[in-house]
Structure 1
Amino acid sequence: MTTSTLAAPSKSGSRRAWWKELWVQVLIAMAAGIVLGAVRPELGAQMQPLGDAFIKAIRMLIAPIIFCTVVNGIAHMADMAKVGRVAIKALIYFEVITTFALIIGLAAVNIWQPGAGMNVDPASINASVVEPYVKQTAAVGLVPFLLNIIPQTFIGAFAEGNILQVLFIAVLCGFALIWLGERAKTVTDVIDVGGQMIFGVVRIVMWAAPLGAFGAIAFTVGKFGLGSLSSLGRLLGGFYVTCVIFIAIVLGPIAALSGFSLWKLIRYIRDEILVCIATTSSETVLPRMLAKMEALGCERSIVGLVIPTGYSFNLDGTCLYLATAAVFLAQATNTHLDIEHQIGLLIILLVTSKGAAGIAGAAFVVLAATLAATGTIPVASVALVLGIHRLMSQGLTPTNLIGNAVATVVIARWENALDTERMKRVLDAGQAGDITA
């Protein structure tokens, strides 16, 4: 195994000054963005390029990082049967947990009933605003999703930044290097050094994280405002509470059974959670999550397979959003949904929630696709949540992130590929140093 991409906690107990911590800087930037957006809405809305630039800078690094991490991990594993075993365990775990997320989302929205009494007439909704999203629904589905895993060209996967396509190529290359044996050592060494170089670039880009968080939050508050959302505040509040409930009653016990504290894990990845909340994108922290989970004690090959796969298959927060939003729209438009309809909705969501990887605004597109597939809830009604989709994303993206962090530890432990002593040390310290080579 090569040197970890993150340094272990300092044994001397010395810590950086509090104001140098990334999570502190991001919090301050978020607070400044909220103030600017509230006081000067027009100026706040103009800060959007700052957030967009940061997201683009991170996204350009995701494909090479996944390729280097996965290829090197599989090549050092030298056991193709283990790769297949880990993939099967991960997919089973993902399906079970996302099913729980959908059930909890449906139960919560039925109890909370945020759309009751809105009495929206579907005919009065301007459907043109959601047409761009509805047009994309044709590409959503299990078969198109599986076919889309295979790229048109080898380089095309990297050019498009499609996570699953890059993962597919990386797994094949990893297997090929195993077959080459000792002759592949030079190539694996080059890939390892290349990966360390890319992580060095990530470290440079992350210096701009507070600026990106400031721009993203200022834009959100400036564009949508704080008072104009009062009519949908019940939906937002209920959704955030549902995310917390899912994390507490599903992920909490799973973490406890796996021998670690969920709270300590959340504290450990607090930087990444805050960046997710600010940018409403979990992709912005994918490189750091790969490094941090390896530093936590999870074997590199496990991390390289579980994290990228989880970004498409283990979207717990997205499932909560889909279930909540779909039933909310039924309530708002007085569409009757009995238990049979909701079970059918659950089954459809189990498929559609896995079929939108790589599509811009994936959660919203999948919501439109689901309504179109059920044929019960008016598709045009998705316009009701279009305005607050970004605010709901600030709940679903950190939930996705925490779910994938838990999944990585669980599957690593399941495979006896977890250094439990190191994990305890790192979680107790609450940090594992900075990204280094």
Structure 2
Amino acid sequence: MKSRFIVKAIVVGMVLGVALGGVLHSQLDAAGAKEISTYLNMITDVFLRLIKMVIAPLVLATLVTGVASMSGSGSIGRVGFKAISWFLIASLVSLGIGLVLANLLQPGTGLNLTVDPNQAVNTGLSAGSLSLPVFLSHVFPRSIIEAMGSNEVLQIVIFSLFFGSALAFVKGTGKSLIVDVLEELANVMFKVTDYVMYVAPFAVFAAIASTVTVHGLGMVMTFGKMVAQFFLGIALLWLLISLAGYLALGQRMKPLLSLMREPLLIAFSTASSEAAYPKTIAALEKFGAN
């Protein structure tokens, strides 16, 4: 019931954001629109910061307890190998679909966005070449505190696997106070995530209102075509993933898709995989418990 309410509120926020952005764009000049857009983006930035605040402790708690609950190193290795294999195959399929659709549909054609040649533009992308030392430095953490502070999820996953494996060996078949504490931490962070998700409709409203305020309602249709093409690629990918999951899980695939509905809707509505990450973990934990 709560998840349905949040999803409905997100949809309402999208509609209201378009309406407010259209009104502000028609009433303000370019300088005023950019200033208002800056204030609106503050709400979205707060939401994304809250999401990032939740991710590190939630990933650490859930992965360590999950690995520690396995019977032995053999099961851990099998699960890890299957997870990595699935991730690599899904990534390759996703890249293939993206390359085919990008060449066929030419997304972004007609946007006619110009960049001031006298103004430096930061794309947020690293221009350095990828090498093995750079790759390893991003995979293996120097400090778990540093990894959690910078939200390096892959580094947190690596530490959690080592820590969970060692914890499983130390505790043997008995109980462990550390596992109990981490399970309680995971439950608390799931509740914190629920609180944070109440901010999602306001963040979506602010993000859309900010964009429409600067670019106008005409950009809604133009961006809409590009987003529709993106959703087409996502739909094709999920169709293939669902078919593969059905072959592997059989009828259990249906309850898994039902549990994944909320994180998927949140990811699409907020355009942020980080926003959906905590809910994805919760869905997988619930599916594994069943």
TM-score bucket (shorter structure): 0.7 to 0.9
- Is 1:30 the counterpart of 2:14? The answer is yes
Amino acid in structure 2 at the alignment position of 1:198: M
**Equivalent in the alignment of 2:158:** 168
How many aligned positions are there?
A: 277
1:64-94 CA distances to partner (integer Å, 9 max, x unpaired)?
1111111111111132222222222222222
Within the candidate set 200, 214, 217, 2:208 is matched to 217
* Partners of 1:216 and 1:190 in 2: CA distance: 37
Aligned CA distance change for structure 1 residues 286 and 181 (closer, same or farther; 3 Å):
same
* Partners of 1:114 and 1:177 in 2: CA distance: 49
- Is 1:89 the counterpart of 2:82? The answer is yes
Aligned CA distance change for structure 1 residues 233 and 59 (closer, same or farther; 3 Å):
closer
- Is 1:48 the counterpart of 2:6? The answer is no
Q: Structure 1 stretch 233-242 or stretch 212-221: which is displaced more?
A: 233-242
8 Å contact kept, 2:141–2:147: yes
Structure-1-length-normalised TM-score: 0.55
Aligned CA distance change for structure 1 residues 125 and 20 (closer, same or farther; 3 Å):
closer
**Equivalent in the alignment of 1:197:** 188
1:204 to partner: Cα distance: 2.0
1:221 to partner: Cα distance: 2.7
- Is 1:72 the counterpart of 2:65? The answer is yes
8 Å contact kept, 2:245–2:253: yes
* Partners of 1:195 and 1:77 in 2: CA distance: 17
Aligned CA distance change for structure 1 residues 206 and 144 (closer, same or farther; 3 Å):
same
**Equivalent in the alignment of 2:269:** 278
1:271-325 CA distances to partner (integer Å, 9 max, x unpaired)?
3333323332111121121112222x225xxxxxxxxxxxxxxxxxxxxxxxxxx
Amino acid in structure 2 at the alignment position of 1:178: A
8 Å contact kept, 2:18–2:217: no
Equivalent residue runs for 1:120-139 within 5 Å: 132-133=122-123, 136-138=126-128
Aligned CA distance change for structure 1 residues 277 and 19 (closer, same or farther; 3 Å):
closer
* Partners of 1:233 and 1:24 in 2: CA distance: 20
| Pairwise CA RMSD | 3.3
* Partners of 2:56 and 2:129 in 1: CA distance: 22
Equivalent residue runs for 1:313-352 within 5 Å: none
Within the candidate set 98, 104, 118, 2:97 is matched to 104
1:360-389 CA distances to partner (integer Å, 9 max, x unpaired)?
xxxxxxxxxxxxxxxxxxxxxxxxxxxxxx
* Partners of 2:279 and 2:125 in 1: CA distance: 34
Amino acid in structure 2 at the alignment position of 1:26: I
* Partners of 1:38 and 1:192 in 2: CA distance: 47
**Equivalent in the alignment of 1:148:** 138
* Partners of 2:261 and 2:168 in 1: CA distance: 37
1:86-143 CA distances to partner (integer Å, 9 max, x unpaired)?
2222222222222222222222233334588x8x9xxx97667675338722164554
* Partners of 2:19 and 2:258 in 1: CA distance: 26
Equivalent residue runs for 1:254-333 within 5 Å: 254-257=244-247, 258-260=249-251, 268-295=259-286, 297-298=287-288
Aligned CA distance change for structure 1 residues 25 and 112 (closer, same or farther; 3 Å):
closer
* Partners of 1:71 and 1:19 in 2: CA distance: 27
* Partners of 1:190 and 1:237 in 2: CA distance: 44
* Partners of 1:225 and 1:266 in 2: CA distance: 37
Aligned CA distance change for structure 1 residues 155 and 77 (closer, same or farther; 3 Å):
same
Aligned CA distance change for structure 1 residues 20 and 185 (closer, same or farther; 3 Å):
same
Q: What is the SS of the residue equivalent to 2:123?
A: helix
Q: What percent identity do the matched residue pairs reach?
A: 26
Aligned CA distance change for structure 1 residues 237 and 128 (closer, same or farther; 3 Å):
farther
8 Å contact kept, 2:212–2:220: no
8 Å contact kept, 1:36–1:44: no
8 Å contact kept, 2:21–2:216: yes
**Equivalent in the alignment of 1:177:** 167
Q: What is the SS of the residue equivalent to 1:37?
A: helix
- Is 1:186 the counterpart of 2:170? The answer is no
8 Å contact kept, 2:262–2:279: no
Q: What is the SS of the residue equivalent to 1:40?
A: helix
Instruction: Please state which structure has a larger fraction of its residues in helix.
Output: 2
Q: Structure 1 stretch 65-74 or stretch 175-184: which is displaced more?
A: 175-184
Aligned CA distance change for structure 1 residues 221 and 136 (closer, same or farther; 3 Å):
same
8 Å contact kept, 1:29–1:211: yes
Q: Structure 1 stretch 53-62 or stretch 125-134: which is displaced more?
A: 125-134
